[in-house]
Amino acid sequence: MDAYSTRPASVLVESQRAVLTDVLDRLIPPAGSLPAAGALGVADYIDRVLAGSTDLRRTILEVLLQIDATAGREHSRAFSELEGSRKDAVLRRVETVEPEGFQALLRQAYNGYYSDPTVITSLGLEARPPQPAGYELEAGDLSPLEKVKRRGRMYREV
């Protein structure tokens, strides 16, 4: 990365990225025309998210460590060396032991996967940002906001 780049440095080392990619392929496997999450590159999305959040980074890196440690303890192999059903068993075990961390990983997997243009298009949706084209909104009754408007400004200019 050059000195003027705005792209954050990678958080994941090669071994963590490999485990994450294998995990993503098990969490969201290929289905029809949809690719698996790992094959799609969702690890890159998660890496960028981790670069911006130390709490999430710590949580997800701990889950990845637990996954590989559980594979080693229960199967004497690295997670990436296991066959499919054993990988699934390891993931179920880690989900039981680390439910909050596992849910954080799963949430980021879904966020990365379902925001990818390839997936959006495959689902029959238009892959574009919501603006500037925008979406049509139904006219609604804004009268409940009158009380808030009458209250006035509740902050101080600085």
Structural domain including 85 reads: 14-128
Residue 34 maps to a domain: yes
Residue 39 maps to a domain: yes
Tell me which amino acid residue 119 is: V
Residue 8 maps to a domain: no
Q: What are the pLDDT digits (tens) for 99-125?
A: 999 999 999 999 999 999 999 999 888
Q: Give the C-alpha separation, 19 to 152, whole Å.
A: 53
Structure confidence at residue 7 (pLDDT): 53
Residue 4 maps to a domain: no
Given a contact cutoff of 8 angstroms between Cβ atoms, the answer to whether 1 and 7 are in contact is yes
Report the candidate in 37, 40, 26, 105 with the shortest Cα–Cα distance to residue 66.
105
Residue 76 maps to a domain: yes
Residue 88 maps to a domain: yes
The pLDDT of residue 86 is above 70: yes
Structure confidence at residue 2 (pLDDT): 46
Q: How many domains does the chain have?
A: 1
User: pLDDT-derived band of residue 146, with 50, 70 and 90 as boundaries?
Assistant: confident
Residue 153 maps to a domain: no
Taking residues 62-86, what's their average pLDDT? 96
Taking residues 141-150, what's their average pLDDT? 84
Structure confidence at residue 131 (pLDDT): 64
The pLDDT of residue 35 is above 90: yes
Tell me which amino acid residue 64 is: L
Structure confidence at residue 65 (pLDDT): 96
Residue 86 maps to a domain: yes
Structure confidence at residue 96 (pLDDT): 97
CA R_g for the chain: 21
